[in-house]
Amino acid sequence: MKILVTGAAGFIGSHTAERLKKLGHDVIGIDNFSSYYSLELKKLNEKELKSKGVPVLNKDLRDTDLAEALPKDINYIFHFAAQPGISKTSTFEDYFSNNILATKNLIDYAQSLTDLKLFVNIGTSSIYGLEATFPEDVAPKPASHYGVTKLTAEQLVLQKSREKQFKACSLRLYSVIGPRERPEKMYTKLIACAFNDSAFPLFDGSASHLRSFTYVGDIVDGVVSVINNEGKLDGEIINLGTEVEHTTQEGIEAVEAVIGKSIKINHVEARAGDQLRTKANIDKARKLLNYNPKTTLLEGVRYQVNWYKENFM
């Protein structure tokens, strides 16, 4: 199969592109290499992909000539590209243009493809709102610009399924951790603070927040399993993550245990829209994709620490 992965130089996108190539597919990546976070990390991911035979096109999904720049014989689209997370440095316009307008532009391109088997939108548990513990048929209540715009992007994609324009599904991912995690995310930041003897900025009240910290390899297992299952996935929304919950404090302690060092903490003002609890309800994923994440928090942290040491020390 010929597969396009958007956001291919990013965290989960790069892992997915690599796995798809390993499975024998012809994979093409696209990424706009935005300055939202470290270009050094994105270039590192790109280098790894190129070494595995996955080219990454430096192109923005919002460009008006997108359709002319991309192949016409794509069979699957995995759409990871987005303005991520909850950040005070990101404006509503950033979320709107990168998550909604870019997705609409990609949809227009997808409609020009003659043998597109499935458009796989990558959603997020933030769509559910402050608590994400629900099955997929619960009405979403996003509490951030990120969640609102990702919900809109999801519905734009699924609209085309309802209109019978092409087959599509959306995967809502839960608190992904592991090698290549973005620098501003919890575990990469914790690991950096431990090794650099600096203080980790802990948002007030967040030590008790509950998360389905899910290892990236387990997430990718679910993502790539959609291939050849488009008949039963068309129009579906599916949660991917672990059912095991850990507090933020337990996450801090896991990093300390793996590295063997206490981490200094600097308490900072709470973030508006930060989720209080995520616990992936994966009954549907088990039924449709035979999905079964197995990596423990401590195992995932160990993999991530080793990656950090290999690349940044």
Catalytic site positions? 146
- Of the candidates 64, 65, 106, the one whose C-alpha atom is nearest the C-alpha of residue 82 is 106
Q: 145 exposed, middle or buried (CB, 10 Å; 0-12, 13-18, 19+)?
A: buried
The first and second tokens of residue 185, run together, are: 């995310």
Tally of CB atoms within 10 A around 137: 7
